[in-house]
């Protein structure tokens, strides 16, 4: 997706200098910065969660990874629950 955004000239100059030092394009540098920013915000949100909310999120993540083509009968499900 291509989007045009307005960036202050001072900021653009700084981005160009940093990108030259990092040997990456300005676009690549901005993408890295956005990825880092989003990741930090996700971590902050996760740290604010209660233990129960974290467990719910973990369960949701596991449920999304399940192969829906593999099924078990009700009997197999209850047998697995009762195994120690």
Give backbone dihedrals phi and psi of 61, rounded to 5 degrees, phi first.
-60, -45
pTM of model > 0.75: no
**Spatial distance between the Cα atoms of 22 and 40, rounded to a whole number of angstroms:** 21
Closest to 72 (Cα-Cα) out of 81, 62, 84, 60: 81
Q: pLDDT value at position 44?
A: 96
Residue 80: enclosing H or E segment and its boundaries?
A: helix 74-82
In a domain? residue 80: no
Give buried/exposed letters for 8-25 (b at 16+ CB in 10 A, else e).
eeeeeeebeeebeeeeee
Is residue 71's pLDDT more than 70? yes
In a domain? residue 39: yes
**Spatial distance between the Cα atoms of 26 and 31, rounded to a whole number of angstroms:** 9
In a domain? residue 34: yes
In a domain? residue 60: yes
Q: Could you report the per-residue pLDDT of 1-28, keeping only the tens digit for each?
A: 778 889 999 999 999 999 999 999 999 9
In a domain? residue 48: yes
In a domain? residue 37: yes
In a domain? residue 28: yes
Domain count, the chain: 1
User: What is the DSSP code (8-state) at residue 49?
Assistant: S
């Amino acid at each position: 997706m291509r989007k045009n955004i307005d960036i202050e000239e001072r900021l653009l100059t700084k981005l160009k200098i940093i990108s030259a030092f990092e040997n990456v394009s300005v676009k690549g540098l901005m993408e890295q910065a956005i990825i880092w920013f989003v990741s930090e915000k996700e971590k902050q949100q996760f740290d604010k969660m209660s233990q129960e909310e974290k467990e719910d999120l973990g369960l949701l993540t596991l449920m999304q990874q399940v192969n829906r083509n593999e099924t078990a009968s009700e009997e197999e499900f209850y047998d697995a629950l009762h195994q120690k």
